[in-house]
Amino acid sequence: MFSQEKKIQLQKHKTPFYFYDFGLLQKTLSVINTESKKYNYHVHYAFKANTNLKIIEVVKNSGFGADCVSGNEVKCAIENGFKNSEIVFAGVGKSDDEINYALDQNIFCFNCESIQELEVINELANLKSKVAQIALRINPNVDAYTHKYITTGLEENKFGINPYEFETVIEKLKNLPHLKLIGLHFHIGSQITDLSPFKKLCTRVNEINNYFLNKGFDLPIINVGGGLGINYHEPDNEAIVDFEAYFKLFYDFIEIRKNQQLHFELGRSVVGNCGSLISRVLYIKNGINTNFAILDAGMTELIRPALYQAFHKIENISSIEEEIVKYDIVGPICESSDCFGKAVELPITKRGDFIAIRSAGAYGEVMSSKYNLRDDVRSVCF
Ligand code: LLP
């Protein structure tokens, strides 16, 4: 629950809007820096989680690199002061235009996801007489035990190069002189709250790292992606994830050589709990078992509940009532899936009340849409 002072401040703004708590963001970034620097680890911020320019600026000032998944994200990183030499570019479907742009910008590394992509980057780099630094995005076949839409490291997922393709890749690389293989990249999924899948990932990384060494590739970069989950149920009690345990796990279980750097790509755990979607109740309507509270924000502002059945804590930040009633919290969009939560217990809620949908800092604003010709969503930071 927000402080009284914050609640009053939030009620001064026109809804719906994203509120970003910069105090919490700064604190989170500082914990990540402290914990990762203990082991000399390098952290890239996963742009896909939130590209609000005010957030990006704070992240950049904390010294993070950028993990991008589109040409426009690479452009956004460069235009907002991230060093070209600290930008990585992943994605299963990089277009020729995007690759050409990233080649022109001399980014640090392309994380390549298929054999054909290796050939295309080599060809485009050749036309520019350049050598592109690449890492192989490997599908390690490790189950992240998270929602099926955000699991990425299983054989059945579209991401990465499978171990049975390694021999072919190594053969191919011999004839691709415009590529320089500098690393291995992994990412097993997102919103992983139990650390054990990361332990399994370390074991797989060790095996694969050794395999490549035996084949004559002493690669300087190992990138283990992101995926660390946040506490959506208790955003105040655990506002910042246990980064100490997370980085220590890698220190304990990954076997990297002295000449190798360990890289991370964190998104949700950096910005997730710093953001809330603030909305007002337009109408209260009687339902059969519960009442509906119809908000002025919907799935167009925050699609996670509709898309992944994701849980977000919902609070009434203006009611002074004591009696608790259950509400289905829905948006104004013409879709039945436009629902933020069912049978949510709130103090008696009326038209005009302010509702906070918490932990919406990651994959919230960035995934908003114009469906139903909705206005662009605004944001407020303090
Ligand atoms: N690296 C790669 C290659 C990724 O694909 C992702 C996220 C990340 C890093 C950052 O992962 P994070 O630390 O944020 O878990 N829209 C979904 C999440 C999609 C995640 C996509 N990849 C959601 O709202 O839950």
Sign of CA dihedral 12, 373, 368, 282: positive
14 within a domain of the structure (yes/no): no
* Structure tokens belonging to residue 260: 């190798």
Could you report the per-residue pLDDT of 233-246, keeping only the tens digit for each? 999 999 999 999 99
Does the CB atom of residue 44 touch ligand 1 within 6 A?
Answer: no
CA-nearest residue, atom 23 of ligand 1: 363
What is the reported pTM? 0.96
Q: What is the CATH number of the domain that holds 371?
A: 2.40.37.10
Are 309 and 340 in a shared domain?
yes
Sign of CA dihedral 95, 369, 355, 335: negative
Are 251 and 203 in a shared domain?
yes
Q: Taking residues 345-351, what's their average pLDDT? A: 98
125 within a domain of the structure (yes/no): yes
Are 77 and 143 in a shared domain?
yes
Q: What is the pLDDT of residue 287?
A: 80
372 within a domain of the structure (yes/no): yes
CA-nearest residue, atom 19 of ligand 1: 150
Model confidence at 116: pLDDT above 80: yes
Are 222 and 155 in a shared domain?
yes
Are 44 and 173 in a shared domain?
yes
Q: What is the pLDDT of residue 289?
A: 83
CA distance 267 to 264: 10
Could you report the per-residue pLDDT of 62-101, keeping only the tens digit for each? 999 999 999 999 999 999 999 999 999 999 999 999 999 9
Query: Ligand 1 centroid vs 227 CA: distance in angstroms?
Result: 6
Are 346 and 236 in a shared domain?
no
Are 148 and 237 in a shared domain?
yes
Are 226 and 299 in a shared domain?
no
8 within a domain of the structure (yes/no): no
299 within a domain of the structure (yes/no): yes
203 within a domain of the structure (yes/no): yes
Are 167 and 302 in a shared domain?
no
Please work out, in degrees rounded to the nearest 5, the angle formed at the alpha carbon of residue 154 by the alpha carbons of 170 and 133.
35
Asked if residues 39 and 71 have their Cβ atoms less than 8 Å apart, the reply is no
16 within a domain of the structure (yes/no): no
Query: Ligand 1 centroid vs 265 CA: distance in angstroms?
Result: 9
**How many domains does one find in the chain?**
2
Does the CB atom of residue 185 touch ligand 1 within 6 A?
Answer: no
Are 164 and 294 in a shared domain?
no
Q: What is the CATH number of the domain that holds 173?
A: 3.20.20.10
Could you report the per-residue pLDDT of 201-216, keeping only the tens digit for each? 999 999 999 999 999 9
**Ligand 1 pocket: which of 44, 48, 232, 308 to mutate (most atoms within 8 A of CB):** 48
Residues spanned by the domain of 115: 22-272
Query: Ligand 1 centroid vs 363 CA: distance in angstroms?
Result: 8
| Domain final position from 252, 272, 292 | 272
Are 268 and 288 in a shared domain?
no
Amino acid at 218: D
3 within a domain of the structure (yes/no): no
* Structure tokens belonging to residue 359: 């932990």
| Domain final position from 243, 272, 301 | 272
CA distance 65 to 67: 7
Are 154 and 176 in a shared domain?
yes
| Domain final position from 228, 250, 272 | 272
Could you report the per-residue pLDDT of 14-26, keeping only the tens digit for each? 999 999 999 999 9
